[in-house]
A and B are shown apart, each in its own frame.
Chain A
């Protein structure tokens, strides 16, 4: 009797898994307004958006190198150090919310944050608008937006540009599309482990993550300084809930986790297994999983490289 019940449930789980692939490949194209993209690109690389004209978006989100700055915490104007690891800008369009605590509902909303954050770009939009009006930006804005240079339009342009920072054709994506030989056996096995261990429960979808909040330290207290969603909702139940990050291009986005505490994938995998999944993982298994993770690096379009 019990056996039947158990096996029935197990079958159910397995059946769900084998139905549709829990990970979907990134499309090759994105529908964007090219003129806005051009403007947004200009702004993304323009230090004029920072108060002391030293920092642009690209400083912390280096498109060529994984879309982040490779630091534990980022540095703002006047050499101020932040307290959170810069997430990657690559494929950020597929995240259901922006920032680790999900306070921004979309890319445009997110772009407002660093610009006005005193420890990041430390500027004010009024001043930026005033400055931009003196430049050739005015003409560009006027040609694209009826109301010219406004906060919404600046962030809208930047967001439009960021939409184009997708990295399709990762080996694993190609494998998903049907190219069986796109990844190695080890990587395939790593994917199976990824699924059977339960990593897939949170790191799935088109962005292999980035579509839910989860508690940081499910099985045990993970000793995080930042409190995640609680910082926004002030709900007790939301303490230590952070946005699950994307695993795409993960090889290049060290340090890992919101406080950048790990520098290697092996460390992260081990940590995840213990604190999130509450299960053991062998060295061999870690190796395979890491192999799999490394197959998630997509192509950065050359035109994006300045």
Chain B
């Protein structure tokens, strides 16, 4: 836009106003001129009228001896007076020069003279008229009179004729007439008629002189000339005046024309500018870009059609609004702050918006926003935007494609490698492990070759789906090769979680896969590597998993192998055990054995420790060390524990029949059981059901188990204690406990761990430890039991050191229920 346009607009307005003012002035002036012209015409007209009347006067004065009705000439005089008065008025004198008034004066004077001539003429004419009339009558009377002689009659005739001639032709001399008159007078003095005749003739001759004089003066048309001079003067004056007026008006018109031309020129320029802008306008209108203009308050003043199309709003809805109506909320506040800052500094800003259409759908816009200045003042903001949603979506797609397998839409190798790389440090920080499972479809190549690539693809898609469904959301599944997949499992709860997953997946694939045309049986080979156990480098971990996978293949496929062989074995064994343990209760593979606790001093049996034993149909005899741990890990311990508890209580009551002095039965409790919500209510139920007193039961918990959650342990133990149970800490000294906790826990019995007893009485450390434990127990008021007494020497030592109760092979091995009954009978 032309920066000078605003100024031009102002000057155009001014020019227009000047022009209008001008036209008004011109018209005002023209009105004045027309008034002047009218006035002048008036004056001229009057002068003309005067001229005409003057001619009338002349005509009047030329009449000879006729009867004239003076009303007419009086009217003319009256008219002349009026017109002359008008010409001599103040306004008339004002509008003309002094020459005018002097001319008028002349006219007035000459008119005055003429008037007196006229007045004189009037009376003379009247008198002459009736005199002449009478003279003719007299002439007749004289001619007919008998008293007058012929001579006198002839003289009378002659005189009359001469007077008549004299009237018509002035040149005839008066003297002849007078002479004749004298002679007549002397001849007929006493005739009345003659006397009358003489007196009339005398007067008339004088009168004729007067008339002729008037005629003579009338030969100089002085009044007419004077009027004519006046007329000429007025004409001249008018012409001069008009000439000036014409010049002035011409000048004014020329000026007006100039202004008009300037305006036309400006208009032309404006049109050409407009045409130029039209081009831009079309460009803007037809651009692929959204173009939005706002005023300085950021209210939209213009949107092109594309903007309307892109945003889904109508033009009316957009105009006047702030562009923030497009905010989707997906650009953060900092983003907008930066935009505002840039604009405020007068800079152009470029960026990408995530904006919202009217129908709330989102779209991406790449925008260029800039402030527009005119003459140093901010006038508009202009935004040129391009909808890049498609591009962004394409980009996303490409990105996606870069990181995903196109067939199965699973993450690809690149993706999973990057993922794993990122997760390793996280796992390190939280001291957790990551398991990498490398999966290969067995004999895939064969299927692909025989049934075709399409079927192969279908198969892969189905496998991917099946695997994905079988996994948790937090587990990553990727396709890394033709028929190779990877699963990343984070923070597995134990080393065997990966094995679980492998088992699960293998299980999933026992079901054949249905493609369009085939029902296919597929098996997988899975290799497992563990971070950080196997390596800390993600690439290595993949390699190891791959190797493990080949191991699995070598092992006969449809199986899984850990990278660490032992782990493989262990895992398998472990899983075996788990599976079997799950069914152990059902299959009544679990049974109880009991080992008596005896008083070291008098060898009296004070209690029994209940020990669980598992005779698996498939695995054979499984030691409690193994299966209890598995039970705790899997949670089977709850059920098993309750079985143990119930069975122990029942059996105790029976034992008591044979040995009434039996005080307690010690039942091992794991932390898993203890922390379980329904544990206490469950055992109470059993106690009630069995009919045993809580005071008969000692709950044995290992030191390490209690230490897992000190607070919770304290509360629960106190609760149990309150219910009447006794609490015994097993394997005391082997875990991480501080003596201060000892205070907290409600303990009744402390069991010295076997490891301390084994080397008694020879190992110095063991001696010290055992001694101190016994002392501690004594001072705290605990009963202490020494475990694993296997010989006399140990017993003696313990006896010497005041250990109250003992337990071990030396006294009695754990026995089955029946065997123990026999033993009890014996002992009695």
Contacts and interface: CB of A to CB of B under 8 A. Distances in A.
Interface of A: 2, 5-6, 9-10, 12-13, 16-17, 20, 22, 24, 96, 105, 196-202, 204-206, 211-215, 218-219, 233, 235, 237, 241, 277-280
A92 to B, nearest CB: 14
Nearest to A5: B164
11 contacts: A6-B136, A13-B132, A13-B133, A16-B66, A201-B127, A211-B74, A214-B122, A214-B126, A218-B127, A278-B134, A279-B196
A229 to B, nearest CB: 8
B485 to A, nearest CB: 121
A302 B615 CA distance: 169
Q: What 8 A-B pairs come out closest when comparing CB atoms? A: A198-B130, A205-B71, A201-B126, A212-B122, A96-B74, A211-B70, A214-B123, A201-B130
B693 to A, nearest CB: 142
A212 B136 contact: no
* Secondary structure class of chain A's binding surface, majority of residues: mixed
B71 A5 contact: no
Contacts of A218: 127, 203
Contacts of B67: 13, 16-17, 22, 200-201, 204
A300 to B, nearest CB: 23
Contact of A215 (B71, B127, B132, B133): B127
B122 A213 contact: yes
Given A13-B66, A205-B70, A278-B196, A213 B123 contact: yes
Number of chain B interface residues as a range: 35 or more
B126 A24 contact: no
Contacts of A200: 67
B704 to A, nearest CB: 134
Nearest to B131: A278
Nearest to B139: A6
Interface in B172-209: 192, 196, 199-200, 203
B79 to A, nearest CB: 12
Given A201-B125, A219-B203, 16 more contacts: A2-B157, A5-B164, A6-B136, A9-B65, A10-B136, A16-B66, A22-B67, A201-B67, A204-B69, A204-B70, A211-B71, A212-B122, A213-B122, A235-B116, A241-B123, A279-B134
Interface string B45-70: 00000000000000000000111011
Contacts of A20: 69
A2 B196 contact: no
Interface string B141-163: 00000000000000001001100
Nearest to A23: B69
A65 to B, nearest CB: 27
Given A6-B164, A213-B123, A219-B203, A198 B129 contact: yes
Contacts of A6: 136, 139, 160-161, 164
A197 B161 contact: no
Contacts of A24: 71
Contacts of A205: 69-71
B616 to A, nearest CB: 145
A212 B123 contact: yes
A17 B129 CA distance: 11
B73 to A, nearest CB: 8
A12 B65 CA distance: 9
Contact of B161 (A5, A22, A235): A5
The CB with the most chain A CB atoms within 10 A, among B119, B126, B139, B160, is that of: B126
Contact of A22 (B69, B78, B130, B200): B69
A96 to B, nearest CB: 4
B253 interface: no
Interface in B70-107: 70-71, 74, 77-78, 81
A206 B72 CA distance: 10
Nearest to B129: A201
B67 to A, nearest CB: 5
Given A22-B67, A219-B199, A277 B120 contact: no
